[in-house]
A and B are shown apart, each in its own frame.
Chain A
């Protein structure tokens, strides 16, 4: 269970009692924290420190800045070009292109690989994120060989949201993320699919054009005006009344 509290600034000392300790698992540092040998952990950004005792992990939640890829993030990328054995994929403005091998899709061979044109969208996992190397992506799990929902995205619309909201949307527990707008819209009978990329892109599709736009507007408004659950209810109510 994640625990929140403690607001930190870059370089602040984190109270050792706050750092989770687990008898067996190694401590995992998430984004915004840096281990400086031998034994200090310093935040590199300002935000709220979260800990998870079960996973023995600690990280800083912050909203802002540009997207910095890290391994196992699921991102929405845009194909720029194809060269040799790879696609070059844009995952963030101002960042160099990531590399997506032609064969990193579910069940493909050299002959059956998907033909993606420049401008196509893919949902991919970051396989390798190293400061000094090109980011590598994959649309298939290397252990199981299954796509698990990754792959090219067809039709739909992309809305840009802040990195904080993208992270909150991909949290499993609603009480932590405090984003209920999608649930409210689903309860209201709208049909749509959502794909959340950690790079701040949200793909919405599967329903009618008007509904897709409505969901996108609800999300972007929630993000820009930083709405809490109550305000989100109001946004949804207002948008649904416009729909009828």
Chain B
């Protein structure tokens, strides 16, 4: 590949990274908030975020066809990866690395899958509301949602609090330690944060009970039970499914008094859910990242040269794109991957909807739910 294109791709990659961090095209003089808990830009609507992202990709592509910058960008302009002093994951042997690479050049994956094939995905719910367990091949994730009444942030008096907490325990791999997050863990929580929280999937305003005084704090705990690659996709399904499965206690407000009812007094209500985003991760292999694999297993992740996570909902609206580091990948390939991801997301979305429906039917003994529920019908 000629040098100009490589540079453009580096630039393009930087642009995508910028998108991934900010969710909207960079504006001059804009100050980004570093606190993920109350971020000013967190409440934009999903559709606007999506159109912004598509718009930005368009701009990136247009730019990449016009820009013929001379030898300004070289290897030192590559963005260094953060986090040097983190515990590292166990590595696979050189024999395995070599074998995996050779096998991919012969179009063979070690588990016999096609390049664009997902592992079998299964979803189950617990007895309690808001517990979801996802299995993606040998990767297993458990997500649990809990809610408590608390005081809202001073700068966001009309919003509730929504938080996603990830935990990779040493049970998963000896490389993980308690209270010392690895890069995997940081990326996982960051991507979930961007996909679910910042895309406005949960209407945080509906969590407000009394402006500036009382609100619900919804917290999702993500536990990784077994790690065989592609934690992000599996965790995202678990988080979304758990949140949609969750029921918070019903409340009523009279003057300055907030009453929280037990499940026996009033039927708990579901969260106000606006859309369901799902992540799809592609891994790239080869000198220039020309081979794209869907849903890489742990061993495959060890030899990838780059990875690309895109979050979409079933309408094909892009909520988030992350291509963090690695080699520069052809922009056209990224667009192809995004198109492939749309198909995959529709499939996942249908699966989750169906499982939720089945679970609701199982719990709805005697068909009383329709009479017990308090909320109004809503188009999603």
Report the interface size for chain A: residues with CB under 8 A from the other chain: 24
B94, A156: Cβ atoms under 8 Å? no
Size bin of chain B's contact surface: 20 to 34
Known contacts being A157-B110, A242-B112, is A213 close to B103, with CB within 8 Å?
yes
* Residue in contact with A93 in the complex, picked from B95, B110, B173, CB distance below 8 Å: B173
Kindly state whether residue B90 has any CB partner on chain A within 8 Å.
yes
| A217: chain B residues within 8 A (beta carbon) | 110-112
Kindly state whether residue B98 has any CB partner on chain A within 8 Å.
yes
Number of A-B pairs, beta carbon distance below 8 Å: 56
B174, A78: Cβ atoms under 8 Å? no
Tell me the complex Cα distance, A71–B111, Å: 34
| A78: chain B residues within 8 A (beta carbon) | 93
Kindly state whether residue B77 has any CB partner on chain A within 8 Å.
no
| A216: chain B residues within 8 A (beta carbon) | 110
Could you mark each residue 186-223 of chain A with 1 if its beta carbon is under 8 Å from any beta carbon of chain B, else 0?
00000000000000000100000110111011000000
Chain B minimum-CB-distance residue to A95:
B174
* Residue in contact with B99 in the complex, picked from A90, A94, A212, CB distance below 8 Å: A212
| Distance (whole angstroms) from the CB of B298 to the closest CB of chain A | 11
B96, A158: Cβ atoms under 8 Å? yes
Tell me the complex Cα distance, A210–B108, Å: 7
| B100: chain A residues within 8 A (beta carbon) | 157
Kindly state whether residue B354 has any CB partner on chain A within 8 Å.
no
B108, A120: Cβ atoms under 8 Å? no
B108, A155: Cβ atoms under 8 Å? no
Could you mark each residue 87-105 of chain B with 1 if its beta carbon is under 8 Å from any beta carbon of chain A, else 0?
0001111111111101100
| A117: chain B residues within 8 A (beta carbon) | 94
Pull 23 A–B residue pairs with CB atoms less than 8 Å apart, ordered by A: A94-B174, A119-B92, A119-B94, A119-B97, A121-B93, A121-B94, A154-B95, A156-B99, A157-B95, A157-B96, A157-B99, A157-B100, A157-B103, A157-B110, A158-B92, A203-B95, A209-B99, A209-B102, A209-B106, A213-B109, A213-B112, A216-B110, A217-B112
